[in-house]
């Protein structure tokens, strides 16, 4: 449930900016049918920064309801205040989520000791399994392998979503955290390379619209069939790249609407829909990947 192709699920909204239950159910069914390994509900791709805490919890619970035990659900619980992270995490105790994904605090840029104390406090507030998430390009703060190694000693911190794109991190984290610590990619473009170095999968943006392909990519990598996996990955590479031609999740929501997976590509301000100039760029990537 913390390995393979895990989708960083978008949160579909209607034209008024309200969460769209119909589209959310359609997305969950799509991932069950496509054999996605698990869903991250209301992570950063799910626009956690612009949902209220009540909406955040409601979307996770709706996702659990629609999943109905058919696919594991991981709750996004990241926050830039430790007390807020603890509060969000406690909302999901005994709900059915299999664990939490918690991003490095953004904007306030804590020290490595601050990061350690932040994640330690959250983990010790719950029995839910915790997966760390390091994405310095978005948070402005890089959690170093030494800090990950310290945190890995805490029983319910079981892995990390590593999104630096720095492949040397895999060996560093493995050495410091141990072989049982799960490393998954948070960067679609380098995910296969990370898996070839010992990573266990990817928490993927691309999987929102190419779910079956990403599931197959991870299966091939697990089997050690990297030649076939690389051929598939090359076909998907335009998506891995162009789904970030504007800030995530702007392009992937547009693509999901274009493919009929959601009814609207609406986002909440300050995020705005894909620009007219970028539409043909994403459309071409969809065509190259064989989705259009």
Rounded to whole angstroms, the Cα distance separating 233 from 3 reads 18
- Determine whether the annotation assigns residue 11 to a binding site: no
Catalytic residue among 133, 200, 253, 257: 133
Rounded to whole angstroms, the Cα distance separating 226 from 232 reads 10
Rounded to whole angstroms, the Cα distance separating 170 from 184 reads 9
Question: What angle, rounded to 10 degrees, do the helices at 145-152 and 112-124 form?
Answer: 30
Q: Which residue has the tokens 């998954």?
A: 184
- Determine whether the annotation assigns residue 52 to a binding site: no
- Confirm whether 106 is a catalytic residue: no
- Confirm whether 161 is a catalytic residue: yes
Catalytic residue among 26, 161, 200, 257: 161
Structure tokens, 170? 């895999």
Binding residues for pyruvate: 45, 203
Binding residues: 45, 203
The catalytic residues are 133, 161
């Amino acid at each position: 449930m913390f390995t393979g192709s895990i989708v960083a699920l978008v949160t579909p909204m209607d034209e008024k900016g309200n969460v769209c239950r119909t589209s959310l159910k359609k997305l969950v069914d799509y991932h069950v049918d496509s054999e996605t390994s698990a869903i991250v509900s209301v992570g950063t791709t799910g626009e956690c920064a612009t949902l209220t805490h009540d909406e955040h919890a409601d979307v996770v619970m709706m996702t659990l309801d629609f999943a109905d035990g058919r696919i594991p659900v991981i709750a996004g619980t990241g926050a830039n205040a430790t007390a807020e992270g603890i509060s969000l995490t406690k909302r999901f105790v005994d709900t059915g989520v299999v664990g939490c994904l918690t991003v490095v605090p953004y904007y306030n840029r804590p020290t490595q000791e601050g990061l350690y104390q932040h994640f330690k406090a959250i983990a010790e507030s719950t029995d839910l399994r915790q997966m760390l998430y390091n994405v310095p390009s978005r948070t402005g703060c890089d959690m170093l392998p030494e800090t990950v190694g310290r945190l890995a000693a805490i029983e319910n911190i079981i892995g990390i979503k590593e999104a630096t794109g720095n492949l040397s991190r895999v060996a560093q984290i493995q050495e410091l955290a141990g072989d049982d610590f799960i490393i998954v990619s948070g960067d679609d473009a380098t995910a296969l390379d990370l898996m070839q170095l010992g990573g266990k999968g990817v928490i993927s943006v691309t999987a929102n619209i190419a779910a079956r392909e990403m599931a197959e990519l991870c299966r091939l990598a697990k089997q050690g069939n990297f030649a076939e996996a690389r051929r598939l990955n090359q076909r998907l590479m335009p998506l891995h790249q162009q789904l970030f031609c504007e800030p995530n999740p702007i392009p992937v929501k547009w693509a999901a609407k274009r493919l009929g997976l959601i009814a609207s590509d609406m986002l909440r301000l300050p995020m705005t829909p894909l620009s007219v100039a970028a539409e043909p760029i994403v459309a071409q990537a969809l065509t190259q990947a064989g989705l259009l």
